C-alpha cells in the first residue's frame, strides 16, 4: 500500500513539473520570438507623445470568477485570451526550474499573476499583470523598482495618469538586448490597492508589434478599477 501511495505522489510531482515546464516554455517562447524571427526592433527611445485608439472589448478580467482574479479589474481586447499564472507552484519546483521561474515570474516588488495573450488576435505579445504585497510604497516607486529590475531597460519616461476614480503612474521605456543588439519599446502602469500594488505591462516581439497592441493596453487602462476588498 505504501508503494502505491508513493507512485501516486510521484505521478503528481511529474504532472506538476510538466505543467510548470509548459508554462515557462510558453513564457520563453514569447521572449525569444524576436530572435527566432530575426526581426529588427528599430526603437531608439520611449515615445511619450504616442497616442493610441482603444481596442474593441472582448471581455474582462480581475473579478471573482474571471480567468484571473486580481485586486483590480479591466476590459480585455477582443480575441485576447487571459490565463492565470501560479507563481507559488513555480516556486515549489526544484533546482534550475525554480531559479528560471523566479527570474521570469518575479520582477522587483511584484510577481506575475496573469498573462493575456495577443496571438488569438493575430499579434505577438502579451499584456501581463503583476501583483505585490501591501505596503507603504506609492505607485511611482513600485513602477520605478519594476523597471529597474528589468535587464537592459533605459530611457524611462514617467508620468501620472487618472482613469475614472483610479490614479497611478505610467512609464514608457526601451529594453535593449546585448545579444541581439536590438531595442524595443515597452510600456507599463502601476496602481496601489488595499490588497497591494498592481503593475500592467505591455511588451511585444518588437516595437512594431508593441505599437499594434497599444489599443488593447489603452482599453485596459481606460477601464481599470479597483475591486472591493
pLDDT band with cut points at 50, 70 and 90 for residue 216:
very high
3-state secondary structure the chain: CHHHHHHHHHHHHHHHHHHHHHHHHHHHHHHHHHHHHCCCCCCCCCCCCCCCCCCCEEEEEECCCCCCECCEEEEEECCCEEEECCHHHHHCCCHHHHHHHHHHHEECCEEEEEEEECHHHCCCCEEEEEECCCCCCCHHHHHHHHHHCCCCEEEEEEEEEEECCEEEEEEEEEEEECCCCEEEEEEEEEEEECCEEEEEEECCCCHHHHHHHHHHHHHHHHHCEECCC
Split at pLDDT 50, 70, 90, the class of 101 is confident
Report the distance separating Cα 43 and Cα 187, nearest Å.
13
17: domain CATH number?
3.40.1000.10
pTM passes above 0.95: no
Question: What is the percent of the chain with per-residue pLDDT over 70, rounded to a whole number?
Answer: 73
Q: Which domain holds residue 162?
A: 2-226
Question: How does pLDDT run across 125-165, given as a tens digit for each residue?
Answer: 999 999 999 999 999 999 999 999 998 899 999 999 999 88
Average of per-residue pLDDT across 153-182: 91
- Binned at pLDDT 50, 70 and 90, residue 91 comes out as low
List the grid coordinates of 54.
482603444
Mean pLDDT value across residues 169-173: 97
Q: Residue 79 pLDDT > 60, yes or no?
A: yes
Binned at pLDDT 50, 70 and 90, residue 167 comes out as very high
Most confident of 25-34, 81-90, 116-125, 177-186: 116-125
Mean pLDDT, all residues of the chain: 80
**Domains identified in the chain, total number:** 1
Amino acid at each position: 500500500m505504501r508503494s502505491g501511495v508513493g507512485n501516486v505522489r510521484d505521478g503528481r510531482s511529474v504532472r506538476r513539473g510538466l505543467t510548470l515546464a509548459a508554462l515557462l516554455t510558453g513564457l520563453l517562447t514569447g521572449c525569444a520570438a524576436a530572435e527566432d524571427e530575426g526581426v529588427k526592433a528599430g526603437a531608439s527611445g520611449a515615445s511619450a507623445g504616442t497616442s493610441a485608439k482603444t481596442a474593441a472589448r472582448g471581455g474582462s478580467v480581475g473579478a471573482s470568477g474571471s480567468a484571473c482574479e486580481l485586486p483590480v479589474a479591466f476590459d480585455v481586447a477582443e480575441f485576447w485570451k487571459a490565463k492565470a499564472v501560479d507563481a507559488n507552484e513555480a516556486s515549489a519546483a526544484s533546482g534550475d526550474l525554480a531559479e528560471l521561474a523566479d527570474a521570469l515570474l518575479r520582477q522587483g516588488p511584484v510577481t506575475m499573476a496573469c498573462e493575456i495573450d495577443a496571438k488569438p488576435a493575430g499579434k505577438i505579445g502579451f499584456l501581463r499583470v503583476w501583483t505585490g504585497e501591501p505596503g507603504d510604497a506609492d505607485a511611482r516607486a513600485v513602477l520605478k523598482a519594476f523597471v529597474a529590475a528589468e535587464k537592459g531597460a533605459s530611457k524611462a519616461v514617467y508620468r501620472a495618469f487618472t482613469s475614472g476614480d483610479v490614479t497611478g503612474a505610467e512609464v514608457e521605456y526601451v529594453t535593449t538586448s546585448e545579444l541581439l543588439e536590438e531595442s524595443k519599446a515597452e510600456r507599463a502602469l502601476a496602481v496601489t490597492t488595499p490588497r497591494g500594488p498592481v503593475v500592467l505591462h505591455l511588451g511585444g516581439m518588437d516595437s512594431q508589434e508593441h505599437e499594434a497592441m497599444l489599443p488593447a493596453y489603452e482599453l485596459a487602462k481606460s477601464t481599470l478599477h479597483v475591486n472591493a476588498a
